[in-house]
Chains A and B, each alone.
Chain A
Amino acid sequence: MSIEQYKGDMEMCCRCSACKHIPLQMVRNPAHSYACPSIAKYNYHAYSGSGRLIIGREALSKGINYTDRLLDIVYNCQMCGACDISCKYAMDMEVLEPISEFRMKCVEDGHANPALDKVINGLHKTGSMVPVKGKRGDWAEGLNLKNATKEKVDVLYHVGCLTSYDKDMQKLAKATAKILQKAGVNFGIAGDAETCCGGRAYQMGYREDFLNQAKKNMALIKKAGVKTLVTGCADGYQAFKVLYDKYNLKGDLEVLHITEYIDRLIKQGKLKLTKKVNLNVTYHDPCRLGRLSEPWIHWEGKKIPGYKFVFDPPKTYRRGTNGIYAPPRDILASIPGIKLTEMDRIKEYSWCCGAGGGVNESNPEFAAWTANKRIEEATSTGAEALVSACPWCESNFNKTLKATGSSLKVYDIVELVAKAI
């Protein structure tokens, strides 16, 4: 993979600015018409999907002219993929892939963001993307969970860095364990042996570190002999399901997000949600559970010479059509007492929580700004609570809410399910 392979895609950009907004027929409110946090905040065209492609195309002709501003542009992007989906409503071209490759090129050229470098150094040392206190499996103490590296289980629950180590997020792991136990699933965790999926390293531009983590994880999985992996982290989910597959590392591992799995358990009658949870909620589609979770499409081909942008064999684009949108909504519909009101930007054109692409670490102020926009949107629905399905979203929303003093509550969907069983 390299930026060069996307030359044709970058040349296709006609600067129509569709990448800045959600698909136009979905615009229902001028306050919620933007898809891309970066252009919405920083205004210069360079911060849009189109601007990034044009810069990339120029770089292919004349090399990259590294300036502080260029790096500001490169790293102030959540890699949320909203531009990609909006563009591909009409166009046949890759948008997020070249943007991602450009960032990787920056990292390879020694122009990594210092804050992200620090995170990656931490990853090297601890196998975690978040600061480590104690051991990775400490949260499970006293829960009698199986260790999948030692015992045979049907399902490996990959907890993820934030949920494992962050004291405020461990409740999600506990809720998940409770749900799986209640449903009688034969599952286990890797405990202290679990390591980062590498997904966030990939978003930050560190391809090699991602690959290292991926290989470690797949070795563990292979050794444990599990066929199904479940995770509650959207970043982890996308890494295992899509990125590992992109690099031919996934094999036939079945990767499920916890919302898919719970939805399946409910529909199979293995999980019954009986307790009332009286709450008006709205649901936030995490980028990597939603639009970016679409299975990787392996394709190799060449552009057919000539004026058309077509390929042999024909290329099928990932356009966000097949993200995980229904399961979380079906679960919410199954919880007695929950009333769901949708926001203006949902599913494939959902607005990012702000925490992706390393922005959480490299520019917390931008992460909070982005989260705040979403909180405003959620509040405008009249909901009491914003429900997500990713610890990074919940964590970023909560941090931002604390600063604003809003009364909006934030839940991960597993917390609500745990209340209902």
Chain B
Amino acid sequence: MTSKTIKPFFLWKHLNKLRWLSLCTVFAMLIFLPYAHVYQTFEAAHAYDLLADSEKQLYDTMEAITSPFINDIEKDLDAIKGNTWSGTFFGYQLSDPLAALGQIFAGRSFYLPFLLTALVPVIFTIVFGRFFCGWICPATFIYELNTNVAAWLRRAGLKTGNRRFDLRIKYLVLAIGLVLSAITGSVLVAGIYPPAIVGREIYYAIALGGFGAGSVFFVITLLFDLLVARRGFCRYLCPGGALYSLLGRFRIFRIQRIVENCNDCAKCNAICEFGLDPLRDGFGQECNNCTACIAICPTDALTFKVRLSDVPNMGPGHLGKLYRRDKKDNGKQ
């Protein structure tokens, strides 16, 4: 028997680092932009001498950071505004698909210019699945760190929750959120969607002097993740995650197991933040292409494939004990 080893493309292994870079960049931008806004308002007031000492410090810091890139503070810093919920990026406006959907329900009408801003994210989601959840979402950044906190707590001997619920609860949350939006005539899904909350609350805290009501909700979700279910909010309750799951159901880029390389070590199942089952080819529409399983696989048995659906369970990995025993048994018969 010829055992031809299939090596996955070497970069896939490092995508997880790139993902963390992306998450950190997004989060850093969410902190930077409010400061940039405050800096702009100082500039607009034309009164550097009247600023308090702390404000002068902020002004000088921002000047040092931004002066290599911009000429006109008031105009040039307008290029990037907003957050991941809805933002302006060099003249192009991008919005979360959930914002567009929520607005359709709240206004019971279609406002095309705004819906078009959600077009690019929708196309990306159809191609890459829940990539937003793993690669951009500022709440994911905190939730994944929160998972590490849970690991430390467990190492210290404390109990953290790891219950499992029905994954379909989040579709119910999405439906209820949209119906409530339609009843009240206000986009209420924005109030229960962590990335929108995080972006807003950071802005409130920096530019308006204090966290708002949303931060309480966010802390509750953190505690829920810590004490009830690992990444529980994203997996079971997030309305945006539900929408992305539906849109990304037939995503083209998926992670897939190379059964010939797999040795059944189950590290992929342990690392998967979303509690999926890469070991038995169980990815489904929940996978957010975070590539943590690819990064941790010791035998390079996971790779990206261009496919419209997951393969059915391919059985135990060919490097594992189970497969060898099965083969021995078959050989005897």
- Same complex for A and B? Answer no
